[in-house]
Amino acid sequence: MGGKFVPLNVIDDFNREALMVTVNNSLPAQRMINELDNLIQWRGKPERIRVDNGPEFIAQKMKDWCQNNQIELTYIQPGKPSQNSLIERFNRTFRQEVLDCYMFESTRQMQNYVNAWIWIYNNERPHSGLNYMTPIGFLLKYGKLNFETAEEFPIFQQEKFKIIDWNSLVLNVAN
């Protein structure tokens, strides 16, 4: 794919579930806010969002949006990516399993592939940091859910589910 693309990666701090990877040519603050609004409609509102100090995150629009939605916005210290280790690890996996392996003709083609990859990442791929469980398996076992099996759990392709409350999101714009 010619030109630059920017993925917005969002994971749940509790079970490391990839909630969103959205790909576009740019990511101004308003576009990111629109994506977060869609995520909240699907999964409910988090108590807090942790981000690095990228321009889209320190923008006044982002601060205002968090304040208006009563979401605590926390920043890692500049130059300390280890404070955001979960998303940094996710970014590495995303780069190794998607970006370094495929050439995409368009952002749409890439987004379609990424959506399928997210499902595998969340539902089939064991994670060493989760005692070799999948993020969905970990959530079903340790989360506060009313589901007994993964088949009952609303996956990201399904819409209009507002059943899960989470405490913290981790956002990152990968370079």
Domains with residue ranges and CATH for the chain: 6-173 (3.30.420.10)
Tokens for 7, please give them: 């993925």
pLDDT digits (tens, 9 = 90+) for 42-71: 888 888 899 988 888 899 999 999 999 999
Torsion angle of the four alpha carbons 42, 45, 48, 51, in this order, in degrees rounded to the nearest 10: 30
Q: For residues 175 and 170, what is the distance between their CA atoms, to the nearest angstrom?
A: 16
The predicted structure's pLDDT at residue 175 = 43
Q: Across residues 20-35, what is the average pLDDT?
A: 89
Q: Across residues 125-150, what is the average pLDDT?
A: 81
Q: Which string of DSSP letters, residue by residue, matches 106-124?
A: SHHHHHHHHHHHHHHHHHT
CA distances from 37 to 21, 66, 115 (A): 14, 11, 18
Global confidence as pTM: 0.80
Q: For residues 25 and 121, what is the distance between their CA atoms, to the nearest angstrom?
A: 24
pLDDT reading at 139 higher than 80: yes
